[in-house]
Amino acid sequence: MIQDDIRNEIKQAMLAKEETRLSVLRGLLAAFVNELVATKRKPDELLSDEEALGVIRRQVKQRKDSIEQYTKGKRPDLAEAEQAELELLEAYLPKIMSRDEIRPIAEAKLAEMGALDKSKSGILVGAIMKELKGKADGGDVKAVAEELLA
């Protein structure tokens, strides 16, 4: 279970005195508890790995948004700190598929759904994302879908 792995890594980070890693892992554990509370479960329960990955993906998205905002605000020091946290979080996610790996799945899904026009690209993207279950970046899936419908 991912949640148990995170708890064990918190102990290792404490022993190794890795402040950034410890901070990220503690924040992640807090996000897991928040997810449990939000889904009306007890805070001491465990999330399934799929739920835990969803929480980690949200944390990754937050870091990316923060990096973008700090970069626009000309705060490279803060953007750099967020980048370090982002790299730690991404280590827990499965490898993201490339556009070349997404294309055959998208083509199969398009063939299955029949002829769609460009205005229905959102439906195609949703269907592909559902099939890939978080193994691909939404932006890449959208780009592939738009290429196929062009």
Collect contacts of 46-52 with beta carbons under 8 A, ≥24 apart: 46/1, 46/3, 46/4, 47/2, 47/3, 49/1, 49/2, 50/133, 52/1, 52/2, 52/3
27-76 pLDDT, tens digit each: 999 999 999 999 999 988 999 988 998 899 899 999 999 999 999 999 99
Verify that 7 and 79 share a domain, yes or no: yes
Domain tally for the chain? 2
Q: Whole-model pTM?
A: 0.73
The candidate with the shortest Cα–Cα distance to 85, out of 71, 105, 64, is 64
Verify that 33 and 86 share a domain, yes or no: yes
Verify that 83 and 128 share a domain, yes or no: no
Chain mean pLDDT for the chain: 89
Residue 112 pLDDT exceeds 90:
no
Average pLDDT over residues 101-128: 83
Range of the domain at 134: 99-149
Average pLDDT over residues 98-104: 89
Residue 117 pLDDT exceeds 80:
no
Verify that 22 and 84 share a domain, yes or no: yes
Verify that 16 and 51 share a domain, yes or no: yes
77-100 pLDDT, tens digit each: 999 999 999 999 989 888 888 888
